[in-house]
């Protein structure tokens, strides 16, 4: 099965995304087991993410990401049925 360059790039990007999610999930679980509230973990994760994004990219990219995430929240893409403890 032969993949074009674009398909290979997409597969690599998806693998990286899944690895990042796995790492973040492990960090989240560690925070919870240490007794840290979910909203504190979330704020720390978002703050760190945007600090690093601004350091390596630029403000426009960070703002674009915020808008994409906002659109996902508004459209209900994230599981809104989960209760926040």
Residue 84 lies in a domain: no
Position 83 pLDDT exceeds 60 = no
Residue 41 lies in a domain: yes
Q: What is the pLDDT of residue 5?
A: 87
Q: What is the pLDDT of residue 80?
A: 60
Residue 85 lies in a domain: no
Residues 43 and 28 in one domain: no
Structural domain span for residue 69: 37-79
Its pTM stands at 0.72
Position 18 pLDDT exceeds 90 = yes
Q: What is the pLDDT of residue 4?
A: 83
Residues 21 and 43 in one domain: no
Give the residue, 55 or 81, on which the prediction is more confident. Answer: 55
The DSSP-derived string for 8-59 is HHHHHHHHHHHHHHHHHHHHHHHHHHTT--HHHHHHHHHHHHHHHHHHHS-H
Domain count, the chain: 2
């Amino acid at each position: 099965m032969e993949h074009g360059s674009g398909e290979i790039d997409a597969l690599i990007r998806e693998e990286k995304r899944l690895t990042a999610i796995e790492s973040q999930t492990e960090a989240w679980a560690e925070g919870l087991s240490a007794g840290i509230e979910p909203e504190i973990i979330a704020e720390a994760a978002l703050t760190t993410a945007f600090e690093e994004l601004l350091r390596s990219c630029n403000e426009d990219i960070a703002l674009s990401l915020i808008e994409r995430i906002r659109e996902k929240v508004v459209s209900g893409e994230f599981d809104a049925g989960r209760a926040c403890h």
